[in-house]
Amino acid sequence: MKKTALLYLMSLVFCLSACGTVNNSAVQKSSNTELEINGDVSDDTAYIGEYLDSDAQEPNLEIAKGNGGTYIVQIGIYRLTTLEDGIGELTAEGMHFTATDAAGHPISGLIISDGQTATVTFTDSTWENLPNDSAFRYTKASDTPNLWNQ
């Protein structure tokens, strides 16, 4: 009788532990999928806003929602230039943007934001004063952008 009760108890323990493992895996997979969706293209709140540059503590990066899923990107680089016609597209890597440099040529790069700090890196530049891989850091001052030419 004791052996039967012990066998029944062990079977119950194995069943419950196996069920718990399956449920935990399903929850883990569900959480990972949710993080991928929330951290991907659908969440633009980490990007939209007004940012101060790290040199002059002046507003020099503005990102606003544009039309058709694009973003308005205005970048100021202290004592160098202002790019007022930028268009951005949010991707899994960050926000890719294209604008016109001071010489009138296209210039593009990537903005990566962690919510409070944004780093602008130029990846395709022909302007000698702003070579490829030039990077500038900005600190978020407001969730509301203040576009310069509007």
CATH of the domain at 118: 2.40.128
Residue 59 and residue 30 in one domain: no
Q: Whole domain around residue 136: which residue ranges?
A: 49-142
What pLDDT does 115 receive?
81
The answer to whether the CB of 93 falls within 8 A of the CB of 109 is: no
Residue 30 and residue 57 in one domain: no
Is residue 149 domain-resident?
no
CB-based contacts of 15, cutoff 8 Å, min separation 6: none
Reply yes or no on whether the pLDDT at 75 is more than 90.
yes
Question: How would you classify residue 31: left for phi > 0, otherwise alpha for psi between -120 and 50, otherwise beta?
Answer: alpha
Please report which confidence band the pLDDT of residue 8 belongs to, taking 50, 70 and 90 as the band edges: low
Residue 53 and residue 35 in one domain: no
Beta-bridge mates of residue 87: 72, 98
Is residue 120 domain-resident?
yes
Give the residue among 64, 75, 118 at the shortest CA–CA distance from 98. 75
Domain count, the chain: 2
Residue 73 and residue 11 in one domain: no
What pLDDT does 18 receive?
45
Reply yes or no on whether the pLDDT at 121 is more than 90.
yes
Is residue 147 domain-resident?
no
Is residue 125 domain-resident?
yes
Segment 130-139 mean pLDDT: 96
Residue 112 and residue 135 in one domain: yes
Residue-wise pLDDT tens digits, 91-120? 999 999 999 999 999 999 999 998 899 999
Is residue 19 domain-resident?
yes
Residue-wise pLDDT tens digits, 21-48? 333 333 333 333 333 433 445 589 999 9
Reply yes or no on whether the pLDDT at 83 is more than 60.
yes
- Type of residue at 150: Q
- In angstroms, the CA 131 to CA 108 distance is 11
Residue 31 and residue 55 in one domain: no
Give the residue among 112, 102, 108, 120 at the shortest CA–CA distance from 60. 120
Residue 29 and residue 66 in one domain: no
The answer to whether the CB of 83 falls within 8 A of the CB of 62 is: no
